[in-house]
Amino acid sequence: MKLRTHHQGDNEEIKRLFTRTFSDSEGPSEGLLIGNLACDLLTITDPQDYYCFVATENEQIAGSIIFSRLTFESDVNAFLLAPVAVHTSYQGKGTGQKLINFGLNNLKERGVELVFTYGDPKFYAKVGFRPISEEIVKAPFVLTHPEGWLAQSLVSAEIDPIPGNSNCVEAFNKPEYW
Q: Which residues contact residue 72 at a Cβ distance below 8 angstroms, ignoring those fewer than 6 apart?
A: 78, 162, 164, 165, 166, 167
* pTM score of the predicted model: 0.95
| The pLDDT value given to residue 91 | 93
Residue 157 clears pLDDT 90, i.e. is over it: no
- Cα 67 from Cα 83, distance rounded (Å): 8
Residue 142 clears pLDDT 90, i.e. is over it: yes
pLDDT tens digit sequence for 18-34: 999 999 999 999 999 99
| The pLDDT value given to residue 130 | 96
Grade residue 141 by pLDDT with cuts at 50, 70 and 90: very high
Mean pLDDT confidence for 95-102: 96
| The pLDDT value given to residue 137 | 96
Cα Rg of the chain, angstroms = 15
What is the dotted CATH code of the domain comprising 2-177?
3.40.630.30
Give the H or E element holding residue 115: strand 114-118
Q: Which residues contact residue 62 at a Cβ distance below 8 angstroms, ignoring those fewer than 6 apart?
A: 1, 55, 56, 86, 87, 89, 90, 95
| The pLDDT value given to residue 143 | 94
Positive or negative CA dihedral for 46, 110, 21, 56? positive
| C-alpha 28 chain-centroid distance | 21
Cα–Cα distance list, 74 to 5, 48, 161 (Å): 29, 19, 11
When the pLDDT of each residue in the chain is averaged and rounded to a whole number, the result is 96
2-5 and 50-57 beta bridge pairing: antiparallel
Residue 63 clears pLDDT 90, i.e. is over it: yes
| The pLDDT value given to residue 151 | 97
- Whole-number percent of the chain with pLDDT over 70: 100
Grade residue 35 by pLDDT with cuts at 50, 70 and 90: very high
Mean pLDDT confidence for 151-171: 94
Mean pLDDT confidence for 72-99: 94
| The pLDDT value given to residue 114 | 97
